Amino acid sequence: MDAARLPGTSGPEQIVAHVDMDCFYAACEQRREPALRGEPLVVGMGYENGTTHGAVATASYEARAYGVESAMAISEALERLPRKVDAVEDPDLDVEDAGFYRPVDMDFYESVAADVREILHAEAAVVREVSIDEAYLDVTDRVSWETVDSWAQDLKDTIESAVGVVASVGVAPTMSAAKVASDRDKPDGLVVVEPGDVREFFADLPVEDVHGVGPVTASELDSLDIETAGDLAAADPELLADRFGERGREIRRYARGEDERSVTPKGDPKSLSRESAFTEATTDSEAKCRQVRTLAEAVADRARRKGARYQTIGIKVVTPPFDVNTRARSLPGPVEEPDLVKRVALDLLGEFDDDPVRKVGVRVSNLDFSAGEQANLDGFSGDARTEETSDSSVADNSSERAKEQNEEGQVGLGTFGGNDEGNEAAGDAANEGEDTVSTNISLPPGQTTLTDF
């Protein structure tokens, strides 16, 4: 079945729109400085003007042409795309092959996102905000399939004219298809997949485009000669269940266009996290520490902006081939202490000093959104109640389920761990792909992620 109509229901099929802002951080900087439009632009996390530390949060399409990718170290990005100001002063550099760098300014990006959200809520009665730059809208009661194309174009035009940033929009009868559709024709894309066309729409897409399929699962599917979504849709469900458990059946359903989820607003997240993948496994302790420090700062900052205190601080370390190790330490009570997040995360990372590492992540959980007093940490030794888990069977499951990633090329929000429900997670990035607000640093074509585990 094509799942154009939900089982057991009658009446019109649901109409779901997925709105995904194009290169959102870079677009915000270009809105603030119009002279940056059309220029190679890199937005750095943990980066300060004139320095070489930090990581790429997002790169404009022009910067990507020089090989700059999200999650890449700023030092490496500068080798591929020197700063324009440096090129002006260095005769060995070509000003035409240089770009602009700006530090992440989340408060500003949040203010721009708020303007976009106001428009989205005016256009739909039900809105699910997945992350700072993407959301699902249920517009079943607002438009018909005959008029949804013009409605979506009007929505895109309104966002661009009123806010000054560009959105790509995908419309389909299911959330998973709408997500894929919004990414299909980026940037500035608009793709409508009507009822009855979902399975055909998926058929020739790479299998990793299917909701819930990440690079690890895609590699395993390839070993089964399953390369496209069409192959996955036609695969033996028992074979997939034997290999992947219930998740195997689930991704097959998504490939067939069968997705019974409805758009529902999100509540408070249960955890906040970010993860980052290295280009290849590394034993460089300083590189691992540098990445964890950057992620810890990002997680603590997001908790501050959401008004969340945390009682547990944890890390995720993926070692070859794809073994996932998590470590966590619980505090006496909920706190907001950015330096402590960094210190505990680095302390936990010490166990893996000599190990080759493919990916690292930082998470805070047991969140408290009340306005009560912060816990007293007097006497906290920093080494009590450390929890450990290691699992090669679910390697990279979190980042794969966090496939509700942000727009390509931008650090997104995703999920850390097995149960994503209630997590803030990328791209995304997302469990259902959406319950985590993602941040992966390794995304699909041209994208990496900082996933909220």
Active site residues: 134
Contact 84, 49 (CB under 8 A): no
Rounded to an integer, what distance in angstroms lies between the CA atom of residue 70 and that of residue 224? 31
Taking phi first (over 0 means left), then psi (-120 to 50 degrees means alpha), and beta for anything else, what does residue 171 get?
beta
Rounded to an integer, what distance in angstroms lies between the CA atom of residue 299 and that of residue 423? 13
Alpha helices in 164-310 (DSSP H): 175-184, 198-203, 215-223, 229-234, 237-244, 246-255, 285-306
DSSP state of 207: G
SS3 323: strand
The span from the first CA to the last CA of the chain, in angstroms, equals: 32
CA 151, 154, 156: angle at the middle one, nearest 5? 110
Rounded to an integer, what distance in angstroms lies between the CA atom of residue 313 and that of residue 366? 9
Strand partners, 192: 171
Closest CA to 124 of 148, 108, 88, 103: 148
Closest CA to 426 of 445, 408, 443, 406: 406
Which residue reads 């299917």 in tokens? 210
Give how far Cα 39 sits from Cα of 1, 29, 30, 36, 99, Å.
Answer: 46, 11, 9, 5, 7
Indicate the burial class of 324 (C-beta count within 10 angstroms; 0-12, 13-18, 19 or more). buried
Give how far Cα 261 sits from Cα of 5, 146, 201, 324, Å.
Answer: 12, 23, 19, 28
Contact 428, 437 (CB under 8 A): yes
